[in-house]
Amino acid sequence: MTDELLRALADPMRTRIVELLAGEQLCVCHLVAETGATSSNLSNHLRLLRSVGAVEAEPAGRYTYYRLRPEVLDAVSAHYAALASRSRLASAVKRPCA
Amino acid sequence: MTDELLRALADPMRTRIVELLAGEQLCVCHLVAETGATSSNLSNHLRLLRSVGAVEAEPAGRYTYYRLRPEVLDAVSAHYAALASRSRLASAVKRPCA
DNA sequence: GCATCTGATCAGCCGGTGCTGACATCATCG
DNA sequence: CGATGATGTCAGCACCGGCTGATCAGATGC
């Protein structure tokens, strides 16, 4: 659960990419068509998503298919679930101030 | 599941705040002591976290206690869990490129 | 009332980060 | 091989967003 992973997933364009990839595997040209962004722009975002392990690339001839890595998304989900769980217990504790 | 909520939670300092609040309710002076940040800096972060509904403030005399809102964290967790679930099915689908 | 303390707000600065445009690379096809 | 098209890389610019410092509003205590 690195901080960089959360930051990578929180960007609007990358959120959009992740949602598109959650439906089916796509190559960059599909993402260009769906988002309207330039290919170099998308390539930069995809490199970042790869670097944090959120997606993986599969070269197929001159195309490159991208897919999500479910384990990573599960880890993020579990992270927030744990925070939610702990914070319910925390409602009973209030550290004295003075 | 607004995009602003994810961005708010993805910032390093705010991640730290959320983790501290997951353990117990704290007032700003505690957060100052724990993080080493200035009070105005923290106040800015807390205002943002309030605006996206991640935390709520309870004035108590001249102090202000903050606590997390578990439902919101659960919603974020569910959001990523849903993406993980969908992406597992998506591994079987690959949109043709040409 | 006056001093003090907590916390909020705002303007301004500044660094990180996303977008663009040009170029490089590699595969495919004629 | 030469052309085309898909993708990646990088430098440069612009803008968003976090940090700071000054100021202010309430609450507390002398």
* Per-residue pLDDT reduced to its tens digit, A48-93: 999 999 999 999 999 999 999 999 999 999 999 999 999 999 999 9
pLDDT tens figures, A23-47:
999 999 999 999 999 999 999 999 9
* Site from B30, B49, B73, B93 to mutate, A interface, most A CB atoms within 10 angstroms: B73
pLDDT of residue A43: 98
- Note the maximum CA span of chain A: 67
SS3 of chain B: the string is CCHHHHHHHHCHHHHHHHHHHHHCEEEHHHHHHHHCCCHHHHHHHHHHHHHCCCEEEEEECCEEEEEECHHHHHHHHHHHHHHHHHHHHHCCCECCCC
Q: What are the residues with a C-beta under 7 Å from any atom of nucleic chain D?
A: A 27-29, 32, 39-40, 42-44, 46-47, 57, 62-64; B 7, 11, 13, 37-38, 40-41, 44-45, 48, 61-62, 97
Q: Which pair of tokens denotes residue B32?
A: 């100052």
Point out which residues pair with B26 in neighbouring strands: B66
CATH code, residues A3-90: 1.10.10.10
Using CB atoms within 10 Å of the CB of residue A13, give its burial: 0 to 12 exposed, 13 to 18 middle, 19+ buried: middle
For residue B74, CA distances in Å to A91, B54, B70 come to: 15, 11, 6
Alpha-carbon span B79 to B5, nearest angstrom = 12
A40 and A27 in contact (C-beta within 8 Å)? no
CA of A44 to C1' of C18 (A): 9
Q: Could A25 and B91 be called an inter-chain contact, meaning their C-beta atoms sit closer than 8 Å?
A: yes
Confidence band, pLDDT 50/70/90 cuts, at residue A97: confident
Q: Kindly give the parts of chain B with pLDDT less than 70.
A: none
Ranges of each domain in chain A? 3-90
